[in-house]
């Protein structure tokens, strides 16, 4: 077997190994690049940059998705970052989230509000529900012209759809009990 034949025989093994390693390498490179950009933003603004980013990431092989995962910045890490920021250092929080657990959002909002230096929230795409609650605790909100904030009232999901808890309670207040379906009464009782 010549050197060229051996190389060709091993090409598929090398190609397979490279194909398995490359997506992970690319993801690590992307993560490193993001961290560097956040550090540069913090240096430029003289602030501690914290992220609350909930997005679905995809690893692919030959352009085909092989793994999907949710990238979630943990609320405990956010609280720790706020707590460890010196009192005279501004905080910039980048929020991109569909919302989440109200308790975690409330804790973060209280911690942000308690920080004595300037607090700025940046919303590049959307900050819904709990993300909006956190944004409202800041001194300043910077948004892309097409970014959105969402309602901060509790939402109740059913098989028929998602409804505002305050709207359900308002229906029960305005209508007679015999005019309201059982599910609405049940939801009003559960969330009142």
Per-residue pLDDT band at 22 (split at 50, 70, 90): confident
pLDDT at 69: 45
Task: Considering only residues 25 and 95, tell me which one the structure prediction assigns the higher pLDDT.
Answer: 95
CATH fold of 3-152 reads 2-enoyl-CoA Hydratase; Chain A, domain 1 (3.90.226)
Question: For 107-142, b where at least 16 C-beta lie within 10 A, e where not — what string?
Answer: bbbebbeebeeebbbbbeebbbbbbbbbbebbeebe
% of the chain exceeding 70 in pLDDT: 86
- The CA–CA distances, whole Å, from 30 to 24, 64, 143 equal 10, 18, 24
Mean pLDDT, range 147-163, rounded to an integer? 80
Backbone torsion region of residue 170, taken as left when φ is above 0, otherwise alpha when ψ lies between -120 and 50, otherwise beta:
alpha
Assessment of whether the complete model's pTM goes beyond 0.85: no
Is the pLDDT score of 133 beyond 60? yes
Strands (E), the chain: 48-61, 64-72, 91-96, 119-123, 126-127, 140-143, 148-149, 155-158, 161-164
Mean pLDDT, range 115-133, rounded to an integer? 94
Mean pLDDT, range 143-172, rounded to an integer? 84
Is the pLDDT score of 70 beyond 50? no
Ranges of each domain in the chain: 3-152, 153-192
């Amino acid at each position: 077997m010549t050197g060229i034949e051996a190389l060709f025989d091993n090409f598929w093994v090398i190609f397979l190994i490279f194909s398995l390693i490359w997506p992970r390498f690319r993801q690590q490179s992307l993560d490193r690049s993001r961290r560097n950009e956040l550090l540069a933003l913090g240096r430029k603004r003289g602030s501690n940059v914290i992220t609350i980013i909930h997005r679905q990431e995809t690893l692919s092989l030959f352009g085909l998705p092989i793994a999907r995962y949710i990238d979630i910045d943990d609320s405990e890490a956010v609280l720790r970052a706020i707590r460890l920021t010196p009192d005279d250092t501004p905080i910039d929080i980048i929020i991109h989230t569909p919302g989440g657990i109200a308790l975690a959002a409330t804790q973060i909002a209280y911690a942000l509000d308690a920080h004595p230096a300037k607090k700025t929230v940046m919303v590049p795409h959307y900050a819904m529900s709990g993300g909006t609650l956190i944004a409202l605790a800041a001194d300043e909100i910077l948004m892309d012209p097409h970014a959105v904030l969402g309602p901060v009232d509790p939402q109740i999901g059913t098989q028929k759809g998602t409804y505002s808890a305050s709207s359900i309670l308002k229906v029960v207040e305005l209508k007679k009990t015999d005019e309201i379906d059982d599910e609405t009464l049940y939801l009003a009782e559960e969330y009142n």
